[in-house]
Amino acid sequence: MEELVARISAAAGIDATLATKAIGMILNFLKKEGPAAEVGELVAALPGADAVMAGASGGGGLMGGLASMMPGGGGVMGLGASLMGAGLSMGQVQSVSKEMFAYGREKAGEDAMGAIVGAIPGLGQFV
């Protein structure tokens, strides 16, 4: 997990605490919205993922709160709003997402990540 946190911190220009929170928020979203088997493969391929997921809150701020009231929790746009509510800019959300999914492909494989991206409407535009 330290390697992923460092990569995301560098790619997005954020500190390790915010990177860790963003990772947890993304993984929690994937667990809720994605195919269980493939998300399970991803989580298993990332040692420490369960702890990071447990430590991540659902987001913050007005945008995160409004997104959570949308049907389905707002999907990808709701996740983006929650990440911005946690303190990321839109550019940082994109950097975090791209790095997270690149790392996921390295660790869990293209098949698992492709299935996750394909199963969640709109996710492909961020990765």
Domain of 89, in residue numbers: 2-126
Question: For residues 74 and 81, is the Cβ–Cβ distance under 8 A?
Answer: yes
How far apart, in whole angstroms, are the C-alpha atoms of residue 19 and residue 8? 6
How far apart, in whole angstroms, are the C-alpha atoms of residue 114 and residue 7? 21
What is the tally of structural domains in the chain?
Answer: 1
Here the CATH number for the domain that contains residue 100 is: 1.10.490
pTM of the model: 0.87
Digitized pLDDT (tens) for each residue of the chain, 127 residues in all: 999 999 999 999 999 999 999 999 999 999 999 999 999 999 999 999 999 999 986 544 444 444 444 444 579 999 999 999 999 999 999 999 999 999 999 999 999 999 999 999 999 887 8
Selection from 33, 5, 21, 20 nearest residue 116 by Cα: 33
Selection from 19, 10, 29 nearest residue 87 by Cα: 19
CB 105: neighbour CB atoms within 10 A? 17
